[in-house]
Amino acid sequence: MRRTLDTGNAAITEGAIIAGCRLFAGYPITPATEIAENMSRRLPQVGGYYVQAEDEMTALHICIGGSLGGLKTMTATSGPGFILYADPMGWALGSEIPLVVVNAQRVGPVSGITGAPGQGEFYMSRYPTQGGNYETIVLAPNSVQEAFSITVEAFYLAERFRMPVIILADQLVTDGWESLSIPETPEEVEAMGLKVIPRRINEGPEFYPATDEIDIPPVVLGHNTDAACSDWTPTPEGYDTEEVDFQHKHAYRLIYKVRNHKDLITRYESYFVDDNPDLILVAYGSPSRVVISAVKQAREKGLKVGALRLISLWPFPDEIFKVPAKYLSVELNYDGQLVREVQRAMPKGSEVHFFGKCGELPTVAELEEMMQALLAGKEIKARNWEWEAW
């Protein structure tokens, strides 16, 4: 085990290499540039390729091509690049291409502030392309060490579900420096609870079976399997078709291979939720670090509060919202994104509130003030755009 002090960007790089990534195509963008830089240094050392693409759309297409040829591939960006993935993301989801996409979220919209964290692509990671009829898998680390392990896991899930897996990080996780342990042997990887599976090759002739099963090898070209894959609705053999019956089967597979194996994806942490707390804070990514601190401190002061920290975001873990309580979604945006899912998933008898910050983390003191007010049943006045009762 190698112990070091490094950034989330470095952790993602090392996780990808351990997971077997051998092609990275990317385009420089703060705060994900160091992933590209680290990859350009590390990949050749292990026999892999770094390609700097002419834009993010090209980057993801190159990753698709590499994966179609049998390599494990990854790209990384921030919000302004993530929108350019919309075109290839549809191709990768529809043709079931395993690969990993990292989004180090920064505050927006548009270019926003390059060096400030945001959580504006929560829904965009669920709907990253047009057309519908698919589910996505989205994972959200809140530390440098977890950025490492989630990257290894993202590759694992990408191979099993044969689809792109999105890592929705944020600027504080990717740019932040923390201690990082990197396993150096397969035994150490396993001891960390991580799994790596090699790329398998679909031998055909059914490349796109109408089933919700996972662990079906993906299409790999160049191995004399007479494979076909395209952007059109496929028959099981990969022929393009305009018969709606095949569309039904294709959509069923893309949606239900994920929904029916959600237990393999869903991950979260809960704090103080077993004694029916009056108030449960919900967060993911870097704000969850503040939320956990604030809830621990509040408990010491006798406040009956708890926290849910989401690690997998999509498919949304509705089933973990078991306790009727007041819920407070803490996010790095003012428009409220996660809160909408909390509102949908909350059990009967709950109420949902929102606290958003824009480009900076909340403080423990701010959260405590919010918790005190909510527990006292005080009506939360909208303070300009900062707080809002939902």
Partner 1 sequence: MDYLATKYLRPRKIPSTACSGCGLGQAHKKVVKAIDELGLGIGDVIWGTGIGCAGRQTFNTWKGDNFAGTHGRAYAIATGLRMALAPDKKIIMTVGDGDAFGIGFLHLLNCARRNVGMTVIVLDNLGYQSTGGQYGWTTPRGYRTDSSPYGMREPNWTQEGRDVLNILREAGATFLARYTSLQGQEAVEAIKKAIMNNGFSLVHMPYPCVTNFAERALGTRKPVEIYKWFGEHTCSMHEKGPDDFAFRTGIYHDASNSRPEFSEYMKTWVAEIQRRYS
Q: Contact at 8 Å (CB) between 16 and 165?
A: no
- Taking the least distance from each CB to partner 1, the nearer of 68 and 290 is 68
The footprint of partner 1 on this chain (CB under 8 A) covers a number of residues equal to: 45
Of positions 137, 154, 216, 227, contacts partner 1 by CB under 8 A:
227
Q: What are phi and psi of 151, to 5 degrees?
A: -65, -45
Q: Among 137-145, 222-230, 341-349, 380-388, which window interacts with partner 1 (CB under 8 A)?
A: 222-230
Of positions 91, 252, 272, 334, contacts partner 1 by CB under 8 A:
91
Q: Measured from the CB of residue 65, what is the shortest distance to partner 1 in angstroms?
A: 3
- Taking the least distance from each CB to partner 1, the nearer of 70 and 359 is 70
Query: How wide is the angle at C-alpha 354 spanned by C-alphas 353 and 355, nearest 5°?
Result: 135
- Taking the least distance from each CB to partner 1, the nearer of 58 and 142 is 58
CB atoms within 10 A of CB 69: 14
Query: How wide is the angle at C-alpha 317 spanned by C-alphas 98 and 179, nearest 5°?
Result: 70
- What is the C-alpha separation between 179 and 83, in angstroms, rounded? 32
Q: Strand, coil or helix: what is 137?
A: strand
- Taking the least distance from each CB to partner 1, the nearer of 73 and 119 is 73
* Torsion sign over Cα 160, 213, 209, 258: negative
Per-residue mark of binding to partner 1, 47-76 (x: CB under 8 A) = xxx-x-xxx-xx--xxxxxxxxxxx-x---
Work out whether 184 is an interface residue with partner 1 (CB under 8 A): no
Write out the two tokens for 354.
């929102």
Q: Among 165-173, 220-228, 276-284, 329-337, which window interacts with partner 1 (CB under 8 A)?
A: 220-228
Q: Measured from the CB of residue 225, what is the shortest distance to partner 1 in angstroms?
A: 7
Q: In terms of residues, how long is the chain?
A: 390
Q: Contact at 8 Å (CB) between 97 and 164?
A: yes
- What is the C-alpha separation between 212 and 194, in angstroms, rounded? 24
Q: Measured from the CB of residue 1, what is the shortest distance to partner 1 in angstroms?
A: 21
- 279-283 and 268-271 beta bridge pairing: unpaired
- Taking the least distance from each CB to partner 1, the nearer of 7 and 73 is 73
Q: Which residues lie near partner 1 (CB under 8 A)? A: 23, 25, 43-49, 51, 53-55, 57-58, 61-71, 73, 87-88, 90-91, 221-222, 224-232, 238-240
